[in-house]
Structure 1
Amino acid sequence: MKIRDQLLLSVLVGTVGTAFGQTSLTLFGIADASISHGSGSTSNRTQISRGGLSSNRIGFRGAEDLGGGLSANFWLEAGYNLDDGSGVPTNTNNQAGSGATQSQGLTFGRRSTVSLASVTLGEIRIGRDLVPQYLNHAAGDPFGNVGAGAAASYVANISGVTNTRASNSLGYLSPVVGGFGLQLMHYWGENARNAPNSNDGNGDGIRLAYTAGRMTLGAAWGRTHYLAGDATQRNLNAAYDFGMVRLMATLNRDSTGVASGRGGVIGVVVPVGVNELKASFSTYKTNAAINSEARKVAFGYVHQLSKRTALYATYAHVRNSGGSTMALNNAVTAPGSSSNGYDVGLRHIF
């Protein structure tokens, strides 16, 4: 069989091979759909939701062993909407207006990177990737910032289009030494140098993490420049696995030059055999509206049918105050009113 045919076969069956100069190629993804309902004081909605436990994705990743502990790697990962088959939009230049795209065919907006990695020196990564400050958000939320249970401090975050990912980035991930790991990133908005908004979409992020046994700690900072005012994120994360229960928490403060916000999430995951019970409390308060604050509680259960397939159910309640209008699963609620939501779904990992 020719090399070309063997590489194609490895993609089609989703396997990793090492026959040709220690090269691997993998197809991977998640298919997740749920029946979701949201209720608010203004309107309610029921729909087939796009990933209530994990975000839907399909991707390709590969690596080539270059010898001496050095490898070349790529990662292409696209988000898609399982209910209608459309692709999830991306952002080309880290700016809300000119860089935003619409739902369309697949775009590798979740991640598109190429990198060189060394066992002893770390990894240099280029492309579109998660920003360092997002990882603390995700580590503190037992619902992974997804579905009806996603933390209020993430859903209502005011820091804009780079609160999760950035395009046109150059990143560095250090090896873990003594439990410490470092991630650095710089990204560009790629505007003309003589334009008034020449720095729009340029930014930096840094995260320092420490792991010792069952304990994990993290601190992160990020800033994206805009002519209207810089968007800044700062957060702290802590997690501890007691065996019978895993506790996690994140605190964050954000600003945009004209507004500021602060909040956090505390969560718990209780293993029940191979299954999980989850719960969280989260809050986010901003000065964007008078005394605007959302407080959210969420409960969930994940039942594993196999290592790759799970049934799940999530329920959440949001209590708004002041000018806050957070609503669940596309319901609409008036300022200061409450909202309820649930997801019941099926996730398959491939």
Structure 2
Amino acid sequence: MKKSLIALAVLAAAGSASAQSSVTLFGIVDATLMWGHGSVSNKHQLGNSGYNSSRLGFRGTEDLGGGMSASFWLEASVNNDNGTGAGTNTNNQASGNALAGLAGGQGLTFNRRSTVSLAGGWGELRLGRDYTPQFWNITVFDPFGTNGVGTTQVLNSIITGVTAVRSSNGVGYFLPANLGGFYGQLQYYMGENNSNVANKDDGNGYGVRLGFASGPFNVAAAFSHTDYSTGNVSQNNVGGQWDFGVAKLMGEYEWDKAGATKGRGGLIGGLIPVGPGEIRLAISRYKTDVPVGTDPRTNKWALGYVHNMSKRTALYATYAHVSNKDGAASSLNGAVTGINNSSSGLDLGIRHSF
């Protein structure tokens, strides 16, 4: 009898513990028919991630009591047009690129995010691979969310290298959500080199982002620094959004440095709801100031429409055009264009989330 009672007590405790935890499988499959036109060559292909980045992920949270929780997040890029995964970077340096020197496609890696966290009323401590603070303003205040042919030229031409979007080996802190609209994060990431090598500091860096959101208004600024023996990198930006109801106005300004080279750019755009869908439009540019020679610059405009068939399924179309000056040769959707020439691109696709 006593053994039966003990067994029931153990089962009850296990049931209580499991009720306080959750694990979720999630993902996005986004297929894109892509056309690119350039002065040298054109390209037609089936790609992915024209509206949202295709991904497969697992996340879970455990309630630790007293307002504390522990969680994990593992998220991998998926190239659903050919079944491969996407490359990652292990040390915030060129030597850490998973595809460097390898033939064929990349296997599945949790390159988008791989973190474990501890959170409470004091905020969140997050460890692992994640977005850098200096990237958030670029994507949040881009009407195209830095996906597809409409992606802001600030990101397409950016000079800051490996840590422009994500960092590995990071230790991050996020402010709690109850600060009257203020939000922010700090992140320190490591290149993990030995102390007795000339490039011992390569890949070490930090970023900080602070913002304020209240009602229709949202504004944020971000600053960062990454060490490299070939020339340190800084990536800095401010961005904002105002929701007028009939439309959202968005903007971002960027100033960067990589060694002796400087980069400056910006975007202005908007989102206009139309029935079950949304019109997206943006004008962006990026200019590189090099120590010797001309200063390449690229201007871009993009126009798109998203039709939501349900909360999980959407059809979309985006057209974009870039013009290059002073030695730039940026092109769209895999096309090749000559120096100081233009390029155009078209995306037609379907996105399904789960």
Q: Please give the range of the TM-score, normalised by the shorter of the 2 chains.
A: over 0.9
Post-superposition offset of 1:81: 0.7
Tell me the residue number matched to 2:155: 154
Which residue type is aligned with residue 105 of structure 1? G
Tell me the residue number matched to 1:100: 97
Tell me the residue number matched to 1:47: 45
Decide whether the 8 Å contact of 1:95 with 1:189 is kept in 2.
yes
Post-superposition offset of 1:18: 8.7
Percent identity for Structure 1 against Structure 2: 51
Decide whether the 8 Å contact of 1:61 with 1:75 is kept in 2.
yes
Post-superposition offset of 1:287: 2.1
Tell me the residue number matched to 2:131: 130
Which residue type is aligned with residue 316 of structure 1? A
Decide whether the 8 Å contact of 1:21 with 1:65 is kept in 2.
no
TM-score of the superposition, structure 1-length normalised?
Answer: 0.93
Q: Verify: 1:295 aligned to 2:299, yes or no.
A: yes
Call closer, same or farther: CA 1:18–1:60 in 2, change over 3 Å: farther
Tell me the residue number matched to 2:274: 272
Equivalent of 1:283 in 285, 288, 291: 285
In the alignment, the residues of structure 1 paired with residue 91 and residue 276 of structure 2 have an alpha-carbon distance, to the nearest angstrom, of 42
In the alignment, the residues of structure 2 paired with residue 80 and residue 258 of structure 1 have an alpha-carbon distance, to the nearest angstrom, of 36
Matches within 5 A, 1:158-307: 158-176=159-177, 177-288=179-290, 290-307=294-311
Decide whether the 8 Å contact of 1:244 with 1:270 is kept in 2.
yes
Which residue type is aligned with residue 101 of structure 1? A
Which residue type is aligned with residue 122 of structure 1? G
Tell me the residue number matched to 2:69: 71
Q: Secondary structure at the match of 1:298?
A: strand
In the alignment, the residues of structure 2 paired with residue 179 and residue 20 of structure 1 have an alpha-carbon distance, to the nearest angstrom, of 33
Q: State the aligned residue count.
A: 332
Structure showing greater Rg: 2
Tell me the residue number matched to 2:57: 59
In structure 2, runs of 5+ residues without a counterpart are 1-14, 100-104
In the alignment, the residues of structure 2 paired with residue 35 and residue 286 of structure 1 have an alpha-carbon distance, to the nearest angstrom, of 31
The alignment's C-alpha RMSD in Å is: 1.2
Q: Secondary structure at the match of 1:80?
A: strand
In the alignment, the residues of structure 2 paired with residue 313 and residue 263 of structure 1 have an alpha-carbon distance, to the nearest angstrom, of 25
Q: Secondary structure at the match of 1:106?
A: coil
In the alignment, the residues of structure 1 paired with residue 62 and residue 325 of structure 2 have an alpha-carbon distance, to the nearest angstrom, of 54
In the alignment, the residues of structure 1 paired with residue 232 and residue 329 of structure 2 have an alpha-carbon distance, to the nearest angstrom, of 25
Decide whether the 8 Å contact of 1:275 with 1:303 is kept in 2.
yes
In the alignment, the residues of structure 2 paired with residue 65 and residue 21 of structure 1 have an alpha-carbon distance, to the nearest angstrom, of 9
Equivalent of 2:322 in 318, 323, 326: 318
TM-score of the superposition, structure 2-length normalised?
Answer: 0.92
Decide whether the 8 Å contact of 1:297 with 1:316 is kept in 2.
yes
Q: Secondary structure at the match of 1:37?
A: strand
Call closer, same or farther: CA 1:61–1:42 in 2, change over 3 Å: same
Decide whether the 8 Å contact of 1:18 with 1:24 is kept in 2.
no
Decide whether the 8 Å contact of 1:319 with 1:339 is kept in 2.
yes
Decide whether the 8 Å contact of 2:272 with 2:280 is kept in 1.
yes
Tell me the residue number matched to 1:117: 119
In the alignment, the residues of structure 2 paired with residue 319 and residue 29 of structure 1 have an alpha-carbon distance, to the nearest angstrom, of 35
Q: Verify: 1:88 aligned to 2:86, yes or no.
A: yes
In the alignment, the residues of structure 1 paired with residue 16 and residue 204 of structure 2 have an alpha-carbon distance, to the nearest angstrom, of 39
Q: Secondary structure at the match of 2:18?
A: coil
Decide whether the 8 Å contact of 2:276 with 2:309 is kept in 1.
no
Post-superposition offset of 1:19: 7.1
In the alignment, the residues of structure 2 paired with residue 152 and residue 265 of structure 1 have an alpha-carbon distance, to the nearest angstrom, of 8
Which residue type is aligned with residue 273 of structure 1? G
In structure 1, runs of 5+ residues without a counterpart are 1-16
In the alignment, the residues of structure 2 paired with residue 51 and residue 266 of structure 1 have an alpha-carbon distance, to the nearest angstrom, of 22
In the alignment, the residues of structure 1 paired with residue 243 and residue 306 of structure 2 have an alpha-carbon distance, to the nearest angstrom, of 18
> What per-residue deviation string (whole Å, max 9, x for no partner) do you get for residues 127-176 of structure 1?
00000010000122100111100000111100001000000000000113
Q: Verify: 1:339 aligned to 2:335, yes or no.
A: no
Q: Secondary structure at the match of 1:55?
A: coil
Q: Secondary structure at the match of 2:84?
A: coil
Post-superposition offset of 1:255: 0.5
Post-superposition offset of 1:258: 2.3
Decide whether the 8 Å contact of 1:295 with 1:319 is kept in 2.
yes
In the alignment, the residues of structure 1 paired with residue 18 and residue 71 of structure 2 have an alpha-carbon distance, to the nearest angstrom, of 15
Q: Secondary structure at the match of 1:249?
A: strand
